[in-house]
Amino acid sequence: MSDSAAPAPGSKAKSDSEWRTVLNKEQFRVLREKGTERAGTGKYDKHYEEGVYSCAACGTPLYKSTTKFKSGCGWPAFFDAIPGAVTRHEDRTFGMTRTEITCTACGGHLGHVFKGEGFNTPTDERHCVNSISLNFGDDDNAKKE
């Protein structure tokens, strides 16, 4: 396993070579190398169906559609995750301090959390998530596409 995303013990962790066999090149760049897709290009930015968003790498349910909101940022935005599904880490890249979010089960990079932006949500948080890090299903049993 690479140092780029260290998942919890007993997780769905794989080595980078194992991840390369199950993820396409862009998924690997974002989920394993902490990349970011271009704003406004992801398939879930303007997606508002009822269901569950799961990790594109391991299939773990991460977000319910009831927590998704229109932020105008160019990436899917959620105000909260399914309890225990997302882990927060301090990210000091690019000369700033941000809060990175990863899938608790596999360590895959999802995006970042921003607080205090004034959105009318119960948490006043925006989980800014790369669409390529997600899959969508119509219920809590959402699995990897």
pLDDT tens-digit series, residues 9-33: 556 888 899 999 999 999 999 999 9
Residue with tokens 């066999």: 21
Residue 106 known to be catalytic? no
pLDDT tens-digit series, residues 36-89: 999 999 999 999 999 999 999 999 999 999 999 999 999 999 999 999 999 999
Q: Which residues pair with 68 in a beta bridge?
A: 78
* Residues in Cβ contact with 95 at an 8 Å cutoff, skipping those fewer than 6 apart: none
* Distance, CA of 44 to CA of 38 (rounded, Å): 13
Q: What is the predicted pLDDT for the residue at 12?
A: 83
Question: Mean pLDDT, the chain, as a whole number?
Answer: 89
